[in-house]
Amino acid sequence: MQQITTGKTSRSGNKPAVLITGVSRKIGIGYALARTLARAGWNIGFTYYRDYDEQMPWGSRPEDVEDLIQELKGYGAAVCSQPADLADPEEPRRVIREVRDNLGPLSALVMSHCYSVDSTIQDTSLESFERHFRVNTRATWLLIREFSRLFAGTFGTGRIVAITSDHTAGNMPYGASKGAMDRIVLAAAQENRSRGITANVINPGATDTGWMTPALEQQIRRNTFLNRIGTPQDCANLVEFLCSDRGCWINGQVLYSNGGVEPGAGG
């Protein structure tokens, strides 16, 4: 069932509107993105998909979404929340249009959604491989396509940002589908030059969103120049900069925001 929750109307106050995908857990990157952009003066549309969280070790906390809505409203943002299974090819267009209809024309698209189930080259099933590409790659293409078609802002004010990963071995379909996603976003930077929409990819490295074992966390700390693991807020800070006027000259880039990692150690 579709759920839309709105606060103050965005058509008054002249706030820009952003759609953020993959927002469901307080500890996640998407949550930090929504909070940070709301504090920076954006109206917030976001998607979430509880069925995916329920399949994962961390589970689903339905109250997190409602808590976020209330928090964003407290920052003065209008809010439009959308449950969405982005494996469905009809969902990107529907979500973009629902958010636009509720918040007004979109100025930015920030994609932090993902599907990630660990598997190797040998044990990845065809079904799993295809679902990774449907969610991580195809949905990104369709979201970008619809956002670009509908963008009506001033030249140079449009923003596309996607969150990627360099995982491959042991997480093959996730890494492969994210790698393909990167190419789509970089293509968008060139193909949207006449519209004045920038498009960039952020690789936040290993980020503490509740999935690390204590042993892995210690290993990551040892391999990172700043001797800590990444936080969702680290990524959100960079996204906020890219979406601001100050970030307008950064375009067509894959940006590593990982604190510096020992060569060969991964991110």
Provide DSSP, 197-256.
Answer: EEEEEEE--SB-SS---HHHHHHHHHHBTTSS-B-HHHHHHHHHHHHSGGGTT--S-EEE
The per-residue pLDDT for 166 is 83
Predicted confidence (pLDDT) per residue in 208-241, tens digit: 766 677 887 788 888 888 888 888 999 999 999 9
Contact 236, 29 (CB under 8 A): yes
Tokens 């700043």 — which residue?
A: 226
Tokens 């006027």 — which residue?
A: 245
CA distance 80 to 46: 6
CA distance 229 to 208: 7
Q: Model's pTM, two decimal places?
A: 0.90
Contact 213, 220 (CB under 8 A): no
Predicted confidence (pLDDT) per residue in 168-193, tens digit: 788 899 999 999 999 999 999 999 99
Of 111, 115, 126, the closest CA to residue 53 belongs to: 115
DSSP codes joined into one string, 64-110? HHHHHHHHHHHTT--EEEEE--TTSTTHHHHHHHHHHHHH-SEEEEE
Predicted confidence (pLDDT) per residue in 160-174, tens digit: 999 998 877 888 999
Q: How do beta strands 43-48 and 17-21 pair?
A: parallel
Angle between helices 232-243 and 29-39 (to 10 degrees): 40
Mean pLDDT for all residues in the chain: 89
CA distance 8 to 79: 8
Q: How many other CB atoms sit within 10 Å of the CB of residue 193?
A: 14
The per-residue pLDDT for 7 is 39
